[in-house]
């Protein structure tokens, strides 16, 4: 139960941080993998990474905040990289 509260807290912090920067958490990115398009929202990427270890969650939050310091492109690049990582991980477990 405590772990779920911690996950929720970090997830909420990520989403709140985006909202404070006027970035829509429902923004989506398309990824072309072997001619098949996968669409992932910022919210989905955040929620999926929140299933990782506590340390990984904190690294995700810190990296997100760092990306926000650069500019809007930094945030897009951040979510592009995180989305690619999720898809590579998902596809490699299916092989």
Parse the chain into domains and list their residue ranges.
2-23+32-94
Alpha-carbon distances, residue 75 vs 4, 63, 92 (angstroms): 26, 10, 26
Instruction: Give yes or no for residue 72 having a pLDDT over 70.
Output: no
Instruction: Give yes or no for residue 31 having a pLDDT over 90.
Output: yes
Q: Cβ neighbours of residue 13 under 8 Å, at least 6 residues apart? A: 61
pLDDT, greater one: 8 or 27:
27
Whole-number Å distance between alpha carbons of 46 and 13:
10
57-70 pLDDT, tens digit each:
999 999 999 999 98
Alpha-carbon distances, residue 89 vs 14, 30, 36, 67 (angstroms): 22, 17, 16, 22
In this prediction, residues 32-45 reach a mean pLDDT of 92
């Amino acid at each position: 139960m405590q772990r779920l509260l911690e996950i929720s807290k970090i997830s909420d912090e990520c989403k709140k941080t985006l909202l404070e920067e006027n970035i829509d958490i429902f923004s989506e990115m398309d990824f072309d993998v072997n001619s098949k398009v996968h669409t992932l929202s910022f919210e989905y990427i955040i929620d999926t990474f929140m299933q990782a270890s506590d340390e990984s969650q904190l690294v995700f939050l810190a990296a997100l905040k760092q990306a926000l310091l650069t500019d809007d492109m930094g945030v897009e690049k951040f979510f592009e990289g995180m989305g690619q990582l999720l898809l590579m991980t998902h596809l490699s477990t299916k092989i």
